Amino acid sequence: NAGVTQTPKFRVLKTGQSMTLLCAQDMNHEYMYWYRQDPGMGLRLIHYSVGEGTTAKGEVPDGYNVSRLKKQNFLLGLESAAPSQTSVYFCASSSQRGNYEQYFGPGTRLTVT
């Protein structure tokens, strides 16, 4: 059981470039989430999904898009990266059966120059 995995671990982008972060979970969880973590601000929810084919906005969705074409994968896209998107991105998954305890991936450190 790998749990929650994220690809890539590190990335440096120039302003205006695009990229996709991949999150995969092998626990058959219905729910998946993307967070960003910035110093002194805790974790802020970007987007989330309650099932395959469904996504919803979180607290800070601007500048990001997501897709959940398969239950086990949740993709986070940056269409035109900005320096304000420099952050550490965490993916998590949970299930209703587990009372929504969230399991986190190892994170992706993104720097936008």
Chain residues that interact with other proteins, rule: CB under 8 A = 31, 33, 40-45, 48, 50, 56, 58, 90, 92, 94-96, 99-107
Least distance in angstroms from the C-beta of 101 to other proteins: 6
Q: Report the residue number, 13 or 92, with the smaller CB distance to other proteins.
A: 92
Least distance in angstroms from the C-beta of 85 to other proteins: 19
Give the Cα separation of 71 and 20 in Å (integer).
17
With 0-12 / 13-18 / 19 or more C-beta atoms within 10 angstroms meaning exposed / middle / buried, residue 81 is buried
Identify which of 10, 58, 50, 54 has the alpha carbon closest to the alpha carbon of residue 34: 58
Taking the CA of residue 85 as centre, how many other CA atoms within 13 Å lie in the half-sphere pointing to its CB? 28
Q: Report the residue number, 77 or 107, with the smaller CB distance to other proteins.
A: 107
Identify which of 14, 6, 4, 12 has the alpha carbon closest to the alpha carbon of residue 82: 14
Q: Report the residue number, 67 or 103, with the smaller CB distance to other proteins.
A: 103
Q: Report the residue number, 80 or 96, with the smaller CB distance to other proteins.
A: 96
Least distance in angstroms from the C-beta of 80 to other proteins: 27
